[in-house]
Amino acid sequence: MDSSLPQPLAGAVSIDGARLWASLMELAEIGRTPKGGVCRLALSALDAQARRLVVAWGQAEGLRITVDAIGNIFMRRPGRDDSLLPVLTGSHIDTQPTGGKFDGNFGVLAGLEVVRSLNAHSIETEAPIEVVIWTNEEGSRFVPVMMGSGVFANAFSLESAYAARDAAGRSVQEELEAIGFRGSESPGHHPVGAYFEAHIEQGPVLEAAACTIGVVTGVLGLRWYDCTVVGMEAHAGPTPMAARQDALQVALPIMRSVVELALAHSPHGRGTVGSVQVFPNSRNVIPGSVTFSIDLRHAEPETLDAMEGALNRCIEEARRSSGLSITLKEVSAFPPSRFDPECVRLIEKASAKRGYPHMNVVSGAGHDAVYLARVAPAAMVFIPCKDGISHNEIEDARPEHLEAGCNVLLDAILARAGVSGPLR
């Protein structure tokens, strides 16, 4: 469908960066924290308030609103041929407890800004365009993460999502009803022609490379494990070194290997031990057991397999040399996802035509686009964020980068939806 885009169009119409920025700042007032971040947990009263604001903005642009049973919101701008599959764009507006103004919000408001710009320029597209807000991407209050898009892509059932409860015991179903966003549409029965999502990078690569646009070719696969080493707690004083079964000391080389095997698979390998629990965790007691998390990521499933194999060999060696019990339990896994080459090419082409410094990147973090890619051609546009910091109240992004990302989104959507208005 890309060929339907006349060459002169790219860059011929642009979005309004100031309007985008103003909307981002207005939305960030809802749940604003003293440090300038945002705390707007999924399905909270603040989430409802933010949803109503964005829906009102959509209605002001003439968009038709539908809500599905997991609370995903679709705001539709009709196409000239409204029977064509719609081009969807969006992200999420729930945040981490100590979240920023841009994570997710940028993708939703960039989609809205594309519509506002098309309206302002009276541009009609062949296919419809829909701006979507996915429910509970962050997973801070209810697990799993990416809940709305996950149910939409049938990665797990609506019933299991409904049953998830927060720390206070409230369920997703109760809270969806309480805030008035449990819709009637059956999730996944909503047609999608293609999906584009704009997002801040949440990492330092673009900033370090002085690139304005990251053309996201895919998302790293990840495997999460819990590793537990069981030794024997004993007094730190009377127990000679040779008589010890120190669980922490046996765990150390495994923790180190997690990073080493990621380094061995540069540049897309990632290895992190983020969480450590020592028992009994007392200054003068030799650790009796240690449990720690392992997070492995890579772009290729075969390499993830190889990394897991190397991890298991390291554990086997530790088991053999220490005689201690060591278990490795897989907690979660996402296969690597590769975005649709044609959608990716549209983003790359738009970046080039606009003259934005750009590079191909692989996302290290999961996004709603990962699930959407299971049901439709999909791709993502990244823009830099300051120092690569996200999920933090000091998360920041530059207005000119947000504007550039939104322009690339506009071009890609127009190319995919096809233009039938005055620009044709």
130, 138, 201, 308: residue in contact with its own copies (rule CB under 8 A): 201
- The interface region with its own copies, picked from 60-68, 271-279, 368-376, 414-422 by CB under 8 A, is 271-279
209, 243, 333, 394: residue in contact with its own copies (rule CB under 8 A): 243
The Cα–Cα gap between 309 and 34 comes to: 46
95, 249, 291, 322: residue in contact with its own copies (rule CB under 8 A): 249
154, 157, 186, 281: residue in contact with its own copies (rule CB under 8 A): 281
- Helix (H) or strand (E) segment spanning residue 19: helix 17-27
Query: Is 256 near its own copies (CB under 8 A)?
Result: yes
Nearest distance from C-beta of residue 365 to its own copies, angstroms: 4
Nearest to 138 by CA among 103, 112, 190: 103
173 or 291: CB nearest its own copies: 291
Give the DSSP letter of residue 423.
T
246 or 368: CB nearest its own copies: 246
192 or 296: CB nearest its own copies: 296
Buried b (16+ CB within 10 A) or exposed e, 357-390: ebbebbbbbbbbbbbbbebbbbbbbbbbbbebbb
Give the max Cα distance, the chain.
Answer: 86
Query: Is 245 near its own copies (CB under 8 A)?
Result: no
285, 306, 310, 352: residue in contact with its own copies (rule CB under 8 A): 285
Range 305-364, binding its own copies (CB under 8 A): 331, 363-364
Q: What CA–CA distances, in Å, run from 72 to 69, 84, 370, 405?
A: 7, 21, 16, 23
Nearest distance from C-beta of residue 424 to its own copies, angstroms: 39
The Cα–Cα gap between 249 and 230 comes to: 11
Nearest to 392 by CA among 101, 44, 45, 31: 101
Whether 77 and 60 have beta carbons less than 8 Å apart is answered as no
Query: Is 220 near its own copies (CB under 8 A)?
Result: yes
Whether 203 and 364 have beta carbons less than 8 Å apart is answered as yes
188: tokens are 């996944």
Range 138-197, binding its own copies (CB under 8 A): none
- Cα 383 to chain centroid, rounded: 14
Q: Is 280 exposed, middle or buried (0-12, 13-18, 19+ CB in 10 A)?
A: exposed
297, 298, 354, 416: residue in contact with its own copies (rule CB under 8 A): 297
Which residues are paired to 222 by β-bridges? Answer: 297, 334
49 or 293: CB nearest its own copies: 293
Query: Is 34 near its own copies (CB under 8 A)?
Result: no
3 or 284: CB nearest its own copies: 284
First to last CA, the chain: 14
30 or 362: CB nearest its own copies: 362
Query: Is 238 near its own copies (CB under 8 A)?
Result: yes
66, 293, 325, 420: residue in contact with its own copies (rule CB under 8 A): 293
Nearest to 127 by CA among 423, 422, 421: 421
Residue type at 241?
A: M
- The interface region with its own copies, picked from 21-29, 55-63, 242-250, 343-351 by CB under 8 A, is 242-250
Query: Is 266 near its own copies (CB under 8 A)?
Result: yes
SS3 label, residue 276 = strand
Nearest distance from C-beta of residue 401 to its own copies, angstroms: 16
Query: Is 286 near its own copies (CB under 8 A)?
Result: yes
272, 319, 420, 421: residue in contact with its own copies (rule CB under 8 A): 272
Nearest distance from C-beta of residue 366 to its own copies, angstroms: 7
77 or 101: CB nearest its own copies: 101
Query: Is 227 near its own copies (CB under 8 A)?
Result: no
- The interface region with its own copies, picked from 124-132, 177-185, 189-197, 251-259 by CB under 8 A, is 251-259
Query: Is 267 near its own copies (CB under 8 A)?
Result: yes
Nearest to 81 by CA among 47, 129, 15: 129
The Cα–Cα gap between 228 and 326 comes to: 6
Neighbours of 208 (CB within 10 A): 11
Looking up tokens 């999909």, which residue turns up? Answer: 378
Looking up tokens 């707690």, which residue turns up? Answer: 233
Whether 375 and 187 have beta carbons less than 8 Å apart is answered as no
The interface mask with its own copies, positions 365-404, x = CB under 8 A, is xx---------------------xxxx-------------
Q: Which residues bind its own copies (CB under 8 A)?
A: 201-205, 208, 220, 222, 224, 234-243, 246, 248-249, 252, 255-256, 259, 262-263, 266-267, 269-276, 278, 281-287, 293, 295, 297, 331, 363-366, 388-391
